[in-house]
A and B are shown apart, each in its own frame.
Chain A
Amino acid sequence: MTAVSEPTSESELAAAVAEARAARMPLSVEGRGTKATLGRPAQAAATLSTAKLSGITLHEPAELVIGAKSGTPLAEVEAALADKGQMLAFEPLDYRPLLGSSGAPTVGGVVAGNLSGPRRISAGACRDSLIGVRFVNGRGEMIKNGGRVMKNVTGLDLVKLMAGSWGTLGVMSEVIFKVLPVPERTATLVLHGLDDARAVAALSAGLGSPFEVTGAAHLPAGIDRIPTTLMRIEGFAPSITYRSAQLKTLLKPFGSADLLEGASAAEVWRKVRDAAFLVEPRDRAVWRVSVAPSKAAAAVARIRSTLDIRHFYDWGGGLVWIAAPASGDAGSAAIREGLAGTGGYATLMRAPAEIRATVDVFQPLSAPLMTITSGIKASLDPDRLFNPGRMYAGI
């Protein structure tokens, strides 16, 4: 059991980092640890937790902005927003079912993982909603970047750098998001029986229409009983009536679309968001693949030809979730060979520690990008205190 430090203020956080630096003690940086099994097994002597940096610091509904200390439970932020009819537009996903973890995910953890759900295709990723951060760097300095206004190009954008850095560049103390109103009405069009390539074509047709599709997923046979293709639209009630009819007509070449609304539709989008279809069986490894939609189905077919997988698509085909046997390299070579030449890449989201210690959990980078990545790490965390090795060896 390693020592756990839980600072209650940003200055205490900075002091804890300075102390660790003086002692050259690598830190496992976490919120409430709900994604602790994601990444390469860390090589840390102690844990630095943001769990006690909690509370909403700013909420201006009329300005579409909310800020919170990094250890604030995501649920608390979402509840405060819901109270004003607003939401985090990027639909943060919840890894607890997939990773079998418990506890309350924090907003800092959401940012550290750049966790972005189905609405990423229309409203952007977590990094696009994130407009400000405060963090402590590896020198123990308290740094701010961005701010509380949604248009801000003042200086280098370190906000983006913090999103998706998995706690390896700094320990966030506060995050600020721009937010959107909750749509008045949501409807989902459902097509049945399409193969992967046709399904992605249908999703592209919907996304390429003027009807503002905000969710576009495909569940092949093996996920659902028969292949199911989902397209979500959101907006004012009369708009949804009009747009669902227009989309139905547009999608005629792909079949006759059913309309799904209410709790059952919300439930299916939650499952898409959280990759809930791949939670069971628990002994399978789970991969997340990002690739241009037009190349997705062919890449999956290549992977299928050598690997026993279950998979489904989000982001109009641009995000593929794959479950593969958690043996050997957990399918790393087959998946990455299948993606070769597509510009896509794969991240291992769930696997036993011994596999995560031996395969590339995060996609290997080209030599010039690795040089830059090492430089970025050194510029923020020169002594490699924060989550050393979690993303890449030596980072």
Chain B
Amino acid sequence: MGIAFPAPDESILARRDFIIAGLARLLPPGGLVTSEDERRAFETDAFTAYRRVPLAVCLPSTTEQTAAVMRFCYENGVKVVPRGAGTSLAGGAIPQEDAVVIGVSKMNRVLDVNFGDRTIRVEAGITNLGISAAVMDESFFYAPDPSSQLACTIAGNIAMNSGGAHCLKYGVTTNNVLGVKMVTVDGTVVEIGGDALDAPGYDLLGLVVGSEGQLGIVTEATVRILRAAEGARPVLFGFDTSEQAGAAVAAIIGAGIIPVAMEFMDKPAIEICEAFAHAGYPLDVEALLIIEVEGSDAEMDFTLGRIVEIAKRHGVKTVKESKSAMETAAIWKGRKSAFGATGRVADYICMDGTIPTGRLPEVLRRIDEIVKGYGLRVANVFHAGDGNLHPLVLYNVNDPDEAHKAEEAGNDILRLCVEVGGCLTGEHGVGVEKRDLMNVQFDRVDLDQQMRVRGVFDRGWLLNPAKVFPLDHRITA
């Protein structure tokens, strides 16, 4: 497979016993994982094509323990790979043999809820859905909703600046976080932001969100919570061509309507998801839009009326409204389990490029050509309102030649996204997966500037060092 990992530092491996003994003194029983079997559970994340068993895994229960472990690693030159729930699709949490994994999953308490200020303070190992669960009795929720929200942690969401299906209206992680407590590489605990809507000085919070565990480990976060709308209703719109669907999306936005979600599926994706979720997706169309609106029943009727009118002007073939909470749940289950459902029929790699939505028909056609050129198949699901594509390139993991071709096809797709004015990753992050493509999107001076800023936090490249920046050119200042 094509992605290189740095060779393990033999001097660290040789000191493994010393390092483990040192870590054991800093953590409570159960907080340190050393046996090979148990470490193997941490060898990869949701980017399963690559695996590296870490030196040890630390599962601190407090910020102070996290800081002590970080300080120890810093003083001993040991690399650290931060980990939330290990759901990264980009390999952001894949360890390396000479690194210690610090997992935040044991820090998962709600610390404070303030409905008046519409904020909640949590330990960063809480799951994304756990935050919403803590406030749902008052009809509040935490807005960014990555498909992995049942499992993924807010720490991981902050590291990757995660998005979701509903961010057209509500924004992504960076728009919903107000403050973090972060442990820096040398074990210093810093508070960035707080519970107000902005903070003095440079926007360090904006820098930390999406920094992929390279600036520090976030152990606590204050995030915004929102009052849920009175109701929400997804509607299925089936089209004969993806061009029609794309034009309908542009016309809806052009008419001043910002639906809370606009999700696109092509025929292969529709078939896979329908077989899994039985959501009532139409099977006789080439493109499906799931458009969700919010508000009172009358408001939703009104907005949907306008959307249906526009869809009709663009030749919509089927329109199917959710008539019950059960139908709504099934519709979203189908979409949110698209990756999992695809995994039942084939192995796949999931791309995450974003494109200007105006280039959609052209890009879909070229993606099809690229993948067919490698003799493979592709299913497309994506966030149509913001152009964030998720082509799933299907292959057989037991066939090394196919695996290689899938990786190459994926890389070609991302190059295409950049070529048309988009980017490599809209919400999954760079991780190891897209690291070697960073030169496609950025010039040397752009990456050097990012690395200089990174160097302010981690001059020695100890934090998640194999990720984000190509290995062949690294600077610190």
What is the interface of chain A, defined by CB distance below 8 A to chain B? Answer: 60-65, 85, 114, 116, 120-121, 124-125, 127-128, 137, 141-145, 147-161, 163-165, 169, 180-184, 201, 204, 207-210, 236, 238-239, 242, 290-294, 315, 318-319, 343-345, 347, 362-363, 365-366, 368-369, 372-373, 375-376, 378-380, 391-392
Q: Is B188 an interface residue (CB 8 A)?
A: yes
Within the complex, what minimum Cβ distance (angstroms) separates A345 from chain B? 5
Residues of B within 8 A of A85 (CB): 256
CB-nearest residue of chain A to B447: A155
Task: Among A62, A65, A163, A164, point to the contact of B254 (Cβ < 8 A).
Answer: A62
Knowing that A164-B203, A204-B116, A292-B194 are A-B contacts, what are 4 other residue pairs whose CB atoms are under 8 Å apart, sorted by A's residue number?
A: A290-B196, A368-B189, A369-B204, A392-B201
Query: Which residues of A are found within 8 Å of B365, using beta-carbon distances?
Result: none
Any A CB within 8 A of the CB of B6: no
B450 within 8 A of A: yes
Chain A residues contacting B299 (CB-CB under 8 Å) are 236, 238-239, 242
Q: Which of A149, A344, A380 contacts B421 (CB 8 A)?
A: A149
Which residues of chain B from 198 to 226 have any CB-CB distance to chain A below 8 Å in the complex? 198-207, 209-211
Q: Which chain B positions have C-beta within 8 A of A165? A: 202-203
Chain B residues whose CB sits within 8 angstroms of the CB of A148 once the complex forms = 356, 421
Q: How far is the CA of A125 from the CA of B82 in the complex (A)?
A: 30
Type the 1/0 row for B165-201, where 1 means its CB is closer than 8 Å to any CB of A.
0010001101100000000100011111011111111
Cα distance, A315 to B448, chains bound together (Å): 38
Q: Which residues of B (222-263) have their CB < 8 Å from a CB of A?
A: 227-230, 250-251, 253-254, 256-258
CB neighbours of B139 from chain A (8 A)? 210
CA distance A343 to B269 in the complex (A): 48
Asked whether B386 is an interface residue with its Cβ less than 8 Å from the other chain, the reply is yes
Interchain CA distance A319-B253 in the complex, whole Å: 32
Q: Is B103's CB within 8 Å of the partner chain A?
A: no
Chain A CB within 8 A of B267 CB: no
Residues of B within 8 A of A (CB): 114-119, 139-140, 160-161, 163, 167, 171-172, 174-175, 184, 188-192, 194-207, 209-211, 227-230, 250-251, 253-254, 256-258, 295-296, 298-299, 302-303, 354-358, 383, 386-388, 421-430, 434, 438, 441-443, 445-450, 452-457, 468, 477
18 pairs of residues in contact across A and B, judged by CB atoms under 8 Å: A63-B253, A63-B358, A127-B206, A145-B450, A153-B160, A155-B430, A169-B202, A204-B118, A236-B299, A239-B295, A292-B114, A315-B197, A363-B201, A368-B184, A375-B456, A375-B457, A376-B202, A379-B453
Report yes or no: B196 in contact with A210, Cβ–Cβ below 8 A: no
Contact with A372, one of B167, B204, B355 (Cβ below 8 angstroms): B204
**Cα of A58 to Cα of B117 in the assembled complex, Å:** 37
- In the complex, the answer to whether B200 meets A154 with C-beta atoms within 8 Å is no
Q: A143-B449, A153-B428 are in contact. Are A292 and B203 (CB under 8 A)?
A: no
Contacts of A157 in B (CB 8 A): 161, 174, 206-207, 209-211
Is A210 in contact with B230, judged by CB distance below 8 angstroms? yes
Q: Which residue of B lies closest to A160 (CB)?
A: B206
Contact across chains for B206 and A163 when beta carbons are under 8 A apart: yes
The 6 closest A-B CB pairs, nearest first, are A160-B206, A181-B256, A375-B456, A151-B426, A363-B200, A62-B250
- Cα separation A196 to B295 with both chains bound (whole Å): 31
Q: Which of A127, A142, A209 contacts B227 (CB 8 A)?
A: A209
Are A368 and B188 closer than 8 Å at their CB atoms?
yes
Indicate if the CB atoms of A151 and B172 lie closer than 8 Å: yes
Chain A residues with CB under 8 Å of B206's CB are: 127, 157, 159-161, 163
Cα distance, A347 to B192, chains bound together (Å): 17
Contacts of A345 in B (CB 8 A): 196, 199-200
Please indicate the chain A residues that have their CB under 8 angstroms from the CB of B250 in the complex: 62-63
- Tell me if A156 and B453 are in contact (CB < 8 A): yes
The contact of A208 among B116, B174, B303, B441, by CB within 8 Å, is B116
Q: Are A208 and B202 in contact (CB under 8 A)?
A: no
Cα-based distance from A141 to B167 in the complex (angstroms): 34
Q: CA A242 – CA B257 in complex, angstroms? A: 18
Shortest beta-carbon distance from A254 to chain B in Å: 14
Taking CB atoms, residues of chain B closer than 8 Å to A120 are: 197
CB distance from A363 to the nearest CB of B (A): 4
Please, how many angstroms separate the alpha-carbon atoms of A154 and B388 in the complex? 12
Once bound together, how far apart are the Cα atoms of A343 and B175, in whole Å? 19
Cβ contacts under 8 Å, B230 to chain A: 210
**Within the complex, what minimum Cβ distance (angstroms) separates B402 from chain A?**
27
Closest to A60 in B: B358
> Hey, which chain B residues are within 8 Å of A392, CB to CB?
201
Q: Once the chains are docked, how many angstroms separate the CA of A161 from the CA of B192?
A: 13
Residues from chain B with a CB closer than 8 A to the CB of A147 are 421-423
Q: Is the CB of A149 within 8 A of B201?
A: no
With A62-B250, A127-B206, A379-B452 already in contact, the answer to whether A152 and B426 are too (CB < 8 A) is: yes
Q: Is the CB of B116 within 8 A of A128?
A: no
Chain A proximity of B87: nearest CB distance (Å): 15
Cα A395 to Cα B341 in complex, Å, equals 53
Contacts of B251 in A (CB 8 A): 62
Chain B contacts of A169 at CB under 8 A? Answer: 202
Most chain B CB within a 10 A radius of its CB, from A61, A124, A181, A379: A379
Cα A236 to Cα B450 with chains together (Å):
43
* Residues of the A chain whose Cβ atoms lie less than 8 Å from the Cβ of B445: 141-143
Taking the closest CB of chain A, its distance from the CB of B37, in whole angstroms, is: 34
In the complex, chain B residues whose CB is within 8 Å of the CB of A201: 116
Are A204's CB and B194's CB within 8 A?
Answer: no
The answer to whether A61 touches B453 (Cβ under 8 A) is no
Chain B residues closer than 8 Å to A182, beta-carbon distance: 256
Chain B: minimal CB distance from A182 (Å): 7
A175 CB to nearest chain B CB (Å)? 15
Interchain CB contact (< 8 A) of A366 among B174, B191, B203:
B191
A312 to chain B, nearest CB (A): 16
